Amino acid sequence: MTATSPATTVRGERRIIGPARVATGRRRDGSTFLIELAIGEMHSGWQVFFTGFINDLTEHRRIQAQLQEFQAELVHISRLSAMGEMASTLAYELNQPLGAIANDTKGCRRLLAHPDPATVATAADVLDKVAEQALRAGQIISRLQDFLARGETVRRAEPVARLIKDSCALAMVGAREQGVVLRLALDRRVGSVLADRVQIQQVLINLIRNAREAMAQGPCRELGVATRPLTADRVEIAVSATGPGIADDVAARLFQPFVTTKPGGMGVGLSICRTISQAHGGRLEVERNGAGGATFQLTLPPARQDKPRREEPGHCA
């Protein structure tokens, strides 16, 4: 096969002999397209022969873009599913400040029906509490909106401590009523990671919720989130819980699609979490811990620049 055909010529470097590379091809009508080009050289006596292989990448890139869209849709559906499972707990959490606002405003109305300096001062204190409860409800809704938003994936330097605290604010809704104790151990040496905030929060929320569910029936319900620097180019976020742990045969398949230990579970959450971590240049693993439960270890590269980086083809969105 020759390096060119009557209908196609190749634009690129003159010295193109060697491993396959991506180049730009030009059709007879002048339109361009991406190709994979490999040129081989062979000597026979005083003669030199060249063999060229051209692979049109148009269909490959189209399928790659379509796969990326499907992957982004699956990631978003996973977020919606997580919030759907938490709907009743979130409703309860929102009803608390809203109920307090309703009761306190009624109390203010009664106080101000017969105003005097004392009742006005009391009403002012009550209104301060109303404002606090309204802010609390607003923060819950704001976090939900951010988590469920669909937008362009942009990675920027995100402080790890803030990612964890914001994730816990959603994932730990209702945990106090279940007797779950959260312990944070955030190493100050761990700064920021280059990440898409919503995607990493999705991973953390999934891991924290799984940990809560795993120890729901246990007598001791302690959930820990810890950070530490592993190497110069790797930091770790570990989510651990007391509980029954994970059987060895299940642990070996836990990150595969449709593998689950939950009754009625779909088994895609952890698979998506691993996909997100790998797309960020990281890893997601699980091991037994000393408390009898399991520890999920998310490792990510630290941020080395403050400029946002838009998503490259092949990464999940």
Q: How do residues 24-78 score in pLDDT, each as one tens digit?
A: 888 888 888 888 888 888 888 888 888 888 888 888 777 777 666 666 666 666 6
Q: How confident is the model at residue 179 (pLDDT cuts 50, 70, 90)?
A: confident
pLDDT in tens, 196-219: 888 888 889 889 988 888 787 777
Order of strands across the sheet with 8-11?
A: 8-11, 18-27, 32-44, 47-56
Q: Return the CATH number at 237.
A: 3.30.565.10
Residue 275 sits in the same domain as residue 176: yes
Output the average pLDDT for the chain. 76
Would you give the DSSP letter of residue 13? -
Question: Helix (H, G, I), strand (E, B), or coil: what is residue 301?
Answer: coil
Residue 214 sits in the same domain as residue 284: yes
Higher pLDDT, 52 or 4: 52
pLDDT greater than 60 at residue 4 = no
Rounded Cα gap, residues 16 and 41, in angstroms: 10
Read off the pLDDT of each residue in 242-262 and give the average, rounded to a whole number.
Answer: 64
Phi/psi-derived region of residue 267, left when phi > 0, alpha when psi is between -120 and 50, beta in every other case: left
Residue 105 sits in the same domain as residue 136: yes
pLDDT in tens, 281-307: 999 998 887 767 888 999 999 987 534
Could you write out the DSSP letters of every residue in 171-210?
A: HTTTTTTTT-EEEEE--TT--EEEE-HHHHHHHHHHHHHH
Residue 171 sits in the same domain as residue 191: yes
Question: How many structural domains does the chain have?
Answer: 3
pLDDT greater than 80 at residue 11 = no
Would you give the DSSP letter of residue 146? H
pTM recorded for the entire structure: 0.58
Percent of the chain with pLDDT over 90: 14
Residue 47 lies in a domain: yes
Residue 8 lies in a domain: no
Residue 128 sits in the same domain as residue 249: no
What pLDDT, on the 0 to 100 scale, is given for residue 309?
47
What pLDDT, on the 0 to 100 scale, is given for residue 34?
85
Choose the most confident range, by mean pLDDT, from 110-114, 241-245, 307-311: 110-114
Among the listed ranges 52-56, 174-178, 258-262, which one has the minimum average pLDDT value? 258-262
Neighbouring residues of 104: CB distance < 8 A, sequence distance ≥ 6: 126, 127, 129, 130, 133
Structural domain including 20 reads 16-60
Query: Within the chain, what is the greatest distance between any pair of CA atoms?
Result: 112
